[in-house]
Amino acid sequence: MNASINTAMGTSEWIMLVVLSILWGGSFFFVGVAVSDLPPFTIVTIRVGLAAIALWTVIFALKMPVPTTIKAWQALIFMGLLNNVIPFTLIVWGQFYIPSGLASILNATTPLFAVIVATLFLPDEKATILKISGVIVGFFGVVLMFGLPEDNQNFLAQLAILGATLTYAVAGVFGRRFKAMAINPIVTAAGQVTGATLLLCPIAYIIDGVPSIDIISNETWISLVALALLSTAVAYILYFKILERAGATNLLLVTLLVPVSAILLGTIFLDEKLEISHFIGMTFIAIGLSAIDGRLWKKFR
């Protein structure tokens, strides 16, 4: 079912991974603007819904082949459940009770779960000591950047975020099948967010109700469009392209880079200040990523 991939990332894969981290790091800013006018599930539903419209527009304009089998659409909808509906719901619920910094730290455990899940189910993505060490060092860097919270936090909320990261890891492994099914990454992204939209619409309606258009500011609309087009549509095209070329374990390293992108974007656009701990944390993340990549470390063997 799963076609083999090149587990050693080249320059183009690393560039795509960095760009993806910037797009997903920027989503924190866009969501931060939108929550002033809209409840969380409504934001998520609008996000994937607008992304689906944008992606299908591109697909039809370019006359890309669309899957016609029930099996393919079952896989795409299930991918939307794994990669959007379940983790988005768990993260939104978890962040009602714990701060975003702690949520980011917990989210950065995704590569750890990815290494375990990929080792169990993907014969060409077995864990190595160097790769596991790199993930641990990178995760330590994330902890250094944010610092551990001093107050006791809600245990179930933390489990919810960890549940989301495990789901992301499973989604990365499950998504490998789309290469074997010869589905274009743009079509895969469109199918996923379409499935997520169909599943999220009733959830948003039941929990949030119908939003009033009158209360939505221009800033919120701009943020929603950017969130949908940049942080979702373009981001998931890159997501599935990296998954197709470099595999689930390498793809989910992006969760180590997202905190770096979010902090740097906050520094550039929101006048936030970089602390010494941020630089030290970024250094550990860089070391961890280089260990996972492996090429630099092979020279010292």
Tens digits of residue pLDDT in 149-176: 655 567 788 788 888 889 988 998 888 8
- Taking a C-beta distance cutoff of 8 angstroms, is the pair 55, 233 a contact? yes
Of the candidate ranges 60-74, 155-169, 213-227, 266-280, the one whose mean pLDDT is the lowest = 266-280
Given a cut of 80, is residue 265 above it in pLDDT? Answer: no
User: How far is it, in rounded angstroms, from Cα 188 to Cα 77?
Assistant: 10
Given a cut of 70, is residue 43 above it in pLDDT? Answer: yes
Of the candidate ranges 53-62, 142-151, 187-196, 226-235, the one whose mean pLDDT is the lowest = 142-151
Task: Give the model's pLDDT for residue 195.
Answer: 93
Compute the residue count for the chain: 301
Please name which of 291, 239, 2, 253 lies closest in space to residue 120, comparing C-alpha atoms.
2
pTM for this entry: 0.78
Calculate what percentage of the chain has a pLDDT beyond 70.
87
For the ranges 27-36, 198-207, 245-254, the maximum mean pLDDT occurs at 198-207
Given a cut of 70, is residue 226 above it in pLDDT? Answer: yes
